Structure formats: C-alpha cells, structure tokens
Amino acid sequence: MPVYEYSGFDSKGREKRGIVNADSPSAAGQKLRSQGLYPSRIAEVSGKEAAQGGLAAKGAPLFGGVRYSELIAAIRQLATLLSAGLPLLSAFDAMLAQMKGGRLNRVLARVRERVNEGASLAEALREHSRVFDQTTVALVEAGEESGTLELVMERLADFGEQRIELRRKVLSSLAYPLLMLITGIVVLFFLMTYVIPKVTKIFFEMEQALPWPTLLLIRVSDVLQQYWWIYIPGILLALALFWRLLRTRRGRELADRYALKLPLIGTLVRYSTIARFARTLGTLLSNGVPLFQALLIVRNAVSNSVLAEAVDTVAEKVRQGESMADPLARSGVFPATTVQMIDSGEQSGTLGPMLLKVADSLEGSLATSLSVATSLLEPIMILLLGSVVGFVVMAVLLPIFEMSRVVG
C-alpha cells in the first residue's frame, strides 16, 4: 500500500503534518477527513526516498538522513510497546501516530507496510540499509527467530543509548580545551594584526634601536597583517587536501596507523574503537548470532582500518576453526587484559556476556583517560598561551624600559 505525506489543518485551524497509508491520493484525503483533518497537500513518498530517509540534514550525525538519537528513541519506544504486549503492527501504528512527520516517519511507515504485506521485520529493515545497519538487522532477525523480539529491541535501545552517552562524554570533555584554543588564537591574531602595529609605530617614529624580541614581534605582525589573505585560503586548501587524502584507502590507513601511535589520543582512539567492537560483538552473540557471522558484521562497525584489519584476520582464523583469543593476541593491537578476558569467556562458554564486560571495562578506562587528558590539556594550553602573551608583552615593554632609562 502506498505511503503519502500530507500537510493540512485540524478543526481548530492548527497546522498538521504527517504520513498516511492509502490506496490512492483520494483515499488518503478521505481517510484524513474522517479523522477531522483537512489536507492542503498530499504527496506520495517514493520507495527510494523512504529507503534513503530523504535528503540529509546538515550538521548532525545521520543514518541515511535520520539523526541517530532520533532512531534510538524510536527503537526504545517500539521496545516499550512490544514489552507491553502490543502486536508488532499495532505497536508501529501507535508509534507512527505520535510522530510529527519527517524522514524517520516515512521510513517506519514503509517498514510497517512491508510487515503488513507478510515480510519479517528484519527483511523490512534490510530494505532501508542506510538507516538500519547490519547489526540492527542481524539482532532483529535473531530476535524474531527466537521469539524474543521485545528483548532484542530493548538491548538495541540500550546499545544505542550507551553509544550516545559515550559520544557525549567525549565531546563534553574536549569542548572546553577546544574553546580555549580557538579563543586564544582569535585574541592573538587580533593583537598581532591590530594592536601591535599601532604600538610599534611609536617606536619607529622615535628612531630608537629595538631589541631582537621586539624586532621579531614586528616581523611576525607585519607578515600576518600583510599576507593574512594568503594564509586563510592556504589553511582551507590544506584542510581540503587532507580531507581528500583521508577519503583514499592509503591515506585512511596512514592516518589510522599514526592516530594509534599519538600520545593520549592513541589511547583514546584504541579504547573507544575496541569498546565499540566488544559491545557490538557481545550484543550479537548474546542474541544467538553465530560467531563468524557476528565478526563479519562487527568488522563494518570498526572505524579504525588497523583494528578492522585485525578483526578480518580474527574472522578468517575463526572460520578455520581457531579460537578468537589467539589471533587477537597475535595482532598486537588489543590490550592484553582484553585478550585474557575474551579467552576466559571462550573457555567458559560465556563469550557474549564477557565481551559486554570488556566493553564496560574499556569505557571506564576511556572515561579515566579522558579525564586525565583534559586535566593535562588545560594547564598545557594555559601555559602555551601564557608564554606567547608573555613574549608579546615583554617585546613591547623592553623598548619602553630602555626609553625610560635614556630619559632618566
């Protein structure tokens, strides 16, 4: 059955937007009028548009044009409705009735119609691969086969909320140092291009010999003042070239490899990537997905190419009949404690729950490392900015002191 997006007004003149399922535009209009709505526009949502989630909004983490937080909220709501005993179609109807239109609304309406036509929920989700990733589809498929779909949806919601919380912690920890850095750069640029030229002009008018710090400051100020129009496009061009390099396979591999070697940053990247690997794999295994298939799915969830290559090797060794812990240890990129916990989980038959414990442990270590990093970054940045400002002040005051001594 086609899906139509509408806009119109209710009996009190309030604007309403949303979607409706009907056989034709006229049937959609009749259905809306029976609900007390008066549509001013009805347009069919194409399958391609629904599958892609519409055009991507700017400035937000998106899955096919859908905000990840919005997607997880919908999964949580669906899990709650299923846990309350509602059938799947009724749960979709209740959820869609509360939504106010948008890309996700259109996608979920298409999913609901495919389920109504006899497809499984996993099959319906798989048709919208830009919105629902392989992990989500695999977990839903395992939940449908085992009859625990509501439990799987709750775990998916928990998984997504933990991922959002981890991202929030990282961003909030780095927000203050980044703000301080940007503010310091802006202030120094203002000093060097506007304030310093006016002050040093006095020194030149007095035809006095200047110390080397003052001469160096004047030289830097002149370069910034005269050639700023070259530096700004140059920086933008360098960033564009760097971004283009990152989009190549070789460039991405080099960036990922060096990122793991950087002090502090390498630890943060390693812990966050392995924690996501462990939590995704643990969630899949805990819901009955076979290990080899789960590793193939998780490989796409690993953002660092070096770690992804290690996961590829592990998957191949598992396919050949080896345990998971041995190739992980040989890769040299997974912490020894993590490998030991995974080995213990394999031997005890509790690999899924053990991987979730690994994820919890790594996320705790990541939070500690973030706290240490930010506590070190703040005084380091203050020291650096203070040193630069101190040099500027010294370079300005030295000629003044010499003038005072001459006059005295």
Arithmetic mean of pLDDT, 369-395 = 84
- CATH 1.20.58.220 fits domain 148-408: no
Distance, in Å, from the CA atom of 79 to the CA atom of 100, rounded to the nearest integer, reads 19
Arithmetic mean of pLDDT, 155-180 = 84
Question: Using 50, 70 and 90 to split pLDDT, how confident is the model at 408?
Answer: low
Q: What is the pLDDT of residue 280?
A: 85
Bridge partners for 388 per DSSP: none
Measured between alpha carbons, how far is residue 377 from residues 165, 186, 291 in Å?
22, 19, 41
Q: Higher model confidence: residue 171 or residue 241?
A: 241
Identify which of 315, 328, 308, 331 has the alpha carbon closest to the alpha carbon of residue 253.
308
- Does position 325 have pLDDT exceeding 80, yes or no? yes
β 15-21/3-10 pair status: antiparallel
Give, for 248, the enclosing helix (H) or strand (E).
none
Segment among 48-62, 227-241, 326-340 with least mean pLDDT: 48-62
Quote the distance between the C-alpha of residue 19 and its chain's center.
29
- 25 and 42 in contact (C-beta within 8 Å)? yes
Question: Using 50, 70 and 90 to split pLDDT, how confident is the model at 54?
Answer: very low
Packing angle of the helix pair 351-407, 149-190 (nearest 10 deg): 10
Q: What is the pLDDT of residue 2?
A: 65
Q: What is the pLDDT of residue 43?
A: 76
Q: What is the mean pLDDT of the chain?
A: 82
Arithmetic mean of pLDDT, 59-81 = 77
Q: What is the pLDDT of residue 350?
A: 92
Quote the distance between the C-alpha of residue 281 and its chain's center.
19
Arithmetic mean of pLDDT, 175-199 = 85
Q: What is the DSSP letter of 5?
A: E
Those residues whose C-beta lies under 8 Å from the C-beta of residue 75, and which sit 6 or more positions away, are 136, 153, 156, 157, 160
Identity of residue 172: S
Q: What is the pLDDT of residue 59?
A: 34
Q: What is the pLDDT of residue 160?
A: 87
Question: Using 50, 70 and 90 to split pLDDT, how confident is the model at 355?
Answer: very high
- 300 and 312 in contact (C-beta within 8 Å)? no
- Does position 56 have pLDDT exceeding 90, yes or no? no
Distance, in Å, from the CA atom of 363 to the CA atom of 234, rounded to the nearest integer, reads 38
Q: What is the pLDDT of residue 62?
A: 42
Q: What is the pLDDT of residue 293?
A: 87
Identity of residue 337: T
Number of helices (H) and strands (E), helices first, in the chain? 17, 5
What is the chain's alpha carbon radius of gyration, rounded to the nearest angstrom? 29
Q: What is the DSSP letter of 210?
A: -
**Tokens standing for 38?**
């008066």
Indicate the domain borders of the chain: 1-44, 148-408
Distance, in Å, from the CA atom of 370 to the CA atom of 372, rounded to the nearest integer, reads 5
Q: What is the pLDDT of residue 60?
A: 37
Arithmetic mean of pLDDT, 291-313 = 85
Distance, in Å, from the CA atom of 394 to the CA atom of 385, rounded to the nearest integer, reads 14
pLDDT in tens, 253-265: 888 888 888 887 8
pLDDT in tens, 79-103: 999 999 999 999 998 888 787 767 8
Identify which of 398, 388, 393 has the alpha carbon closest to the alpha carbon of residue 209.
398
pTM of the full predicted structure? 0.66
- Does position 220 have pLDDT exceeding 90, yes or no? no
Distance, in Å, from the CA atom of 175 to the CA atom of 164, rounded to the nearest integer, reads 16
